[in-house]
Structure 1
Amino acid sequence: MEEAVTEATATVEHAVAEVAQGAQGGHGADTGLTAIAFVIVVAVTAGLGLMRLRQPPLVGFILAGVLLGPSALGVISTSNENVTMLAEMGVLMLLFFIGMELSLKAFVASLKPAVQIAGGQLIAAMAISFGLMAISEATLAEAIILGFIIALSSTVVAMKMLEDIGELRQEPGRIAVAVLIAQDLAVVPMLIVATSLGGEEAVSWVDVGLKIAVAVAVLGGLLWFLGRRPKLKPSFAPAVENNVEILALGSLAFCFAAASFSGLVGLSPAYGAFIAGLVVGASTLRSPVIHVVEPIQALLLVVFFLSIGLLIDLNYIVENWVLVLVASLFVILAKTVLNILLIRLAGLPHKTAVEAGLSMAQIGEFSFVLAAAAFASGAIGGDVYRLALAVTAVSLLVSPAWMVVIRHLEGEARFGYAEFRAALTELYGDRIETVEDLGVWLKVRGRALRRAMTRRRVARRNGKAEAVDETGEPAPRE
């Protein structure tokens, strides 16, 4: 029996080694095809498994990346340039797709509160990082970089979560998209500061301000231009609108060309992809392009989520699990509370604040880029860099499940909270404002809570009684 187990284990290890060799540059078409097939099977299996657990499939894709990464089976290396390139293309395609689907009027209406919310997020993140600096040995440069990292949220994960709950095209989705675009605009100056803090040269705030001004001016001018005219009608539209191949290639070319140009002039490539999406979305080709591009975007996004899993260093997390767990939970909880508070202060309703706030509770994918740039320039040390990567990856992994749990609790609490308020008013409506003593206040709330629970039990019993028919037999369940 032991010999059989040993032989089976050796067979599995040999198969994994062959797959890993193919994924990391092994020879032979068969080996490479086997590696691709193995990765796809693992990703699909993990996604289906999480769907059975009523969790978003993107969590399964991230876990598949962890399993296939260097911390586990080692099938895919974090230095695999093909995976990195495809993951970056997935981010660009997502922003291109978002730009196409946006309603210009709704987006413009959301810009003002979005800028206010994004500014509040940055200020709050800086306050947190400087507070950590005060109680630790972190340097000023590390505090600034950590503030930048915490302030950003994941466009990919947030949009996917909102799409899964059907809120992407509703008010929560519109405000979240606007806030995330405002964050993306801030990535460029953040990168400049991150690379400059570790160098000998001082930060050129003139260059930073100029790039921000250019980005805002281009976006504002484009929105003004597109909003004052009907749909754009390209002269070649009739010839290509029914040609799937040309539409797909042309859309990809336009998206990546705009992203490349944006990067060359010192702006974020994601910003260029979003601008390209706005232009296509304002044209008569919008519907056919969306139909053609959506499957490509979905496939590239799977690669992006796999790449996030590759970055999770299980060895570091196991060795520092308390620190990583506490930091991750603190970041997710703090960002959730701050997001909801800022959105409410912007005058938006409670439901919108909860849905949009939960969707942005994680740390964003651009934080990986910021951390890498800061580490390369010497602005942050190796320990801070590894901790930032671990917390970012864990927050991306946990945030979909966090959203599901909090939305469930929010829905369950609505009836109970309404009953609690009714009982509180019934018992102490005439003198609740005069209660100052903490002990009395706790007694008041305790009695009100017991009354609310009694009312709820009575309501449930009445509901069961109504289910019994005139013969005294329980009514059949549908």
Structure 2
Amino acid sequence: MFLYTQLDPTVAFVSVLAILIIIFGLILKRFKQPYIIGYIMIGALLGEHGIGLIKDTESIHHLGEIGIILLLFFIGMEISLPELVKQWKLAVIGTLLQVCISVLIVIGIGYFFNWNIQRSVILGFVIALSSSAVIIKIIQDKNLITTRIGKNVLSVLLMQDIIIVPLLIITSIIGGKEEPVEKIILMVVGGLLVMAILVYIYIKRSIKLPFESKLENDHELQVFAAILLCFGGALLASIFGLSPALGAFVGGMVMHVSKATDWIYDTLHSFRVLFVALFFVSIGLQIDFQFIIKNYVVISIVLLSVYLTNHFINSFILKLFSCKWHESILGGALLAQIGELSFLISSSAFSLGILGSFGYKFTISLISLTLLISPFYISSTEKLLKILQKKKLMKLHKIKK
């Protein structure tokens, strides 16, 4: 008879994670809140700043990135390219306006706090980017993907995924590190390749996969074929220095026009649920409660400022591009948080010496908290809009009488 005197850490982690997700999930379901909140809180609880059960945070983060690739691939399968192209003005002009206004606001704030221009520009970049992972999950859960506001928000998020490349290059230049010409050329070629694929999809409108009929009744091969189709696009994008999630999204759009989405969805859906959960757990791992408690006053002020600023800017931009006011305000709430791509800018700025140790911890805490609070903030905005619309209808009803 064998007696285990030591728990296998992997088995312990998976078991505890599953138990906590079920407990938090049931509580959040009772209060009609998204599971994302539970995943982030579980990460914070199990991480080195919590009970310390998860020590290999890097591996969890890499597994979580698989979840984002799967998430964007699934969204790509639901999106019609001709419909998305209609939002190009909002995506391009709106995103550029968001970045420029955010940078100018932070430069203005930095002037009073004696921040150098480099730090102000980087922090402007950080707060300008919203979270594709959080918001795409929320608009999918709320069945907003095919609505006008859902399409508008999605187009902005995808443009932000693209613009992260030049923002990282600018960050390197600000930090005194010039990007190799070969790398920049590779990124440009990658961008042109993505555009060529999208143009081809737009023109063809229908594509037949060469091996689709051979896989029709073979579930085992379908699993690996679906994985190849999803991660092939992500791999191709990463080779050219672009976001793997962007490549997965384009791959999903190819699947949309190939009409092969049913068996791919059935095959990969469970994988997506698991790995997306791990991504949000990895965000929770980065929350340092001691640092937040120690600096709660300044973090609270900046957190409030970020939400109000981002909400106002994005609502204004959405209204500018012919959205109704209630749609614009909801869209502003959806885009009000700081996104996970800002982690990349913060990390790059820290390694280049633009941000010090305190500035880096502060930025990481701020990003993590906005992601945690975002579902509550969006729900509150929705409730407020419903109350206002109800009052407006009652007022119109009284006038008619």
TM over 0.5: yes
- Displacement of 1:48 in angstroms is 1.9
Q: Which position in structure 1 is the counterpart of 2:202? A: 227
The alpha-carbon deviation at position 90 of structure 1 amounts to 1.0
Shift of 1:367: 0.8
Q: What is the match of residue 98 of structure 2?
A: 121
The answer for the alignment partner of 1:389 in structure 2 is 364
2:11 aligned partner, one-letter code: L
What secondary structure is seen at the aligned counterpart in 2 of 1:167? coil
Match of 2:229 among 238, 245, 254: 254
Alignment correspondent of 1:90: 67
Which shows bigger deviation, 247-256 or 93-102? Answer: 247-256
Identity over aligned pairs, percent: 29
Q: Deviations over 1:288-307 (max 9, x none)?
A: 11222222111111001111
Q: Give 1:187's aligned residue.
A: 164
Q: Which has the higher contact order (CA 8 A, sep 6+)?
A: 2
Q: TM-score, normalised by structure 2?
A: 0.92
Letter in 2 for 1:234: L
Pick the aligned partner of 1:299 from 274, 279, 289: 274
- Whether contact under 8 Å (1:185, 1:215) holds in the other structure is no
Aligned to 1:276: 251
State the Cα deviation string for residues 318-361 of structure 1 (Å, max 9, x = none): 00001111111211121112111100101122343233222111
Cα 1:388–1:41 shift into 2, 3 Å: same
Q: Is the 8 A contact 2:98 2:313 kept in 1?
A: yes
1:134 matches 2:124 = no
Partner of 2:80: 103
2:14 maps to 1:36: yes
1-structure distance, mates of 2:216, 2:324: 40
Q: Residue deviations 1:219-276, cap 9 Å, x none? A: 4322221122242112210111333332222222233233223222222222222222
Would the aligned equivalents of 1:49 and 1:60 in 2 still touch at CA under 8 Å? no
Aligned ranges 1:77-476 → 2 under 5 Å: 77=55, 79-199=56-176, 201-202=177-178, 213-214=188-189, 216-417=191-392
Shift of 1:212: 6.7
1:71 is displaced (CA, Å) by 1.6
Between the aligned partners of 2:378 and 2:186, the Cα distance in structure 1 is 35
Quote the Cα distance in structure 1 between the aligned partners of 2:66 and 2:164.
Answer: 18
Query: Does structure 1 conserve the Cα–Cα contact (< 8 Å) formed by 2:346 and 2:360?
Result: yes
Residues in 2 aligned to 1:354 and 1:212: alpha-carbon distance in whole angstroms? 35
- Tell me which residue corresponds to 1:46: 24
The 1-side partners of 2:328 and 2:290 are apart by 37
Contact 1:336 1:357 in 2 (8 A): yes
> Is the Cα contact below 8 Å between 1:126 and 1:148 reproduced in 2?
yes
Corresponding residue number in structure 1 for 2:34: 56
- In the alignment, the residues of structure 2 paired with residue 112 and residue 221 of structure 1 have an alpha-carbon distance, to the nearest angstrom, of 19
Q: Cα 1:261–1:315, aligned 2, differ >3 Å: closer, same or farther?
A: same
CA 1:223–1:262: 2 relative to 1, 3 Å: closer
How far did residue 169 of structure 1 move?
A: 2.2
Instruction: Give how far 1:44 is off.
Output: 2.2
Q: Distance in 2 between matches of 1:206 and 1:145?
A: 24
Q: Which residue of 2 aligns with 1:71?
A: 49
Q: Say which is worse superposed, 247-256 or 314-323, in terms of deviation.
A: 247-256
String of CA shifts for 1:104-130, please: whole Å, max 9, x gaps: 111111122221211111112111211
CA distance in 2, matches of 1:285, 1:108: 22
Quote the Cα distance in structure 2 between the aligned partners of 1:211 and 1:98. 26
- Please give the alpha-carbon distance, in whole angstroms, between the structure 2 residues aligned to 1:51 and 1:323: 33
Asked if 2 retains the 8 angstrom alpha-carbon contact of 1:237 and 1:284, the reply is no
- AA aligned opposite 2:225: G
| Corresponding residue pairs, total | 398
CA positional deviation for 1:420: 6.0
Counterpart AA for 1:129: V
The Cα shift of 1:419 comes to 5.4
> Taking structure 1 as the reference length, what is the TM-score of the superposition?
0.78
What code does the residue aligned with 1:397 have? L
Larger Rg: 1 or 2?
1
Q: In 1, distance between residues paired with 2:38 and 2:223? A: 28
Equivalent position SS for 2:285: helix
Asked if structure 2 preserves the Cα contact closer than 8 Å seen for 1:47 and 1:58, the reply is: no
Give the root-mean-square deviation of aligned CA atoms.
Answer: 2.5
Any gaps of 5 or more consecutive residues in structure 2?
none
* Counterpart residue identity of residue 47, structure 2: G
What is the alpha-carbon distance in structure 2 between the residues aligned to residue 169 and residue 248 of structure 1?
27
Determine if contact 1:219/1:275 at 8 Å carries over to the other structure. Answer: yes
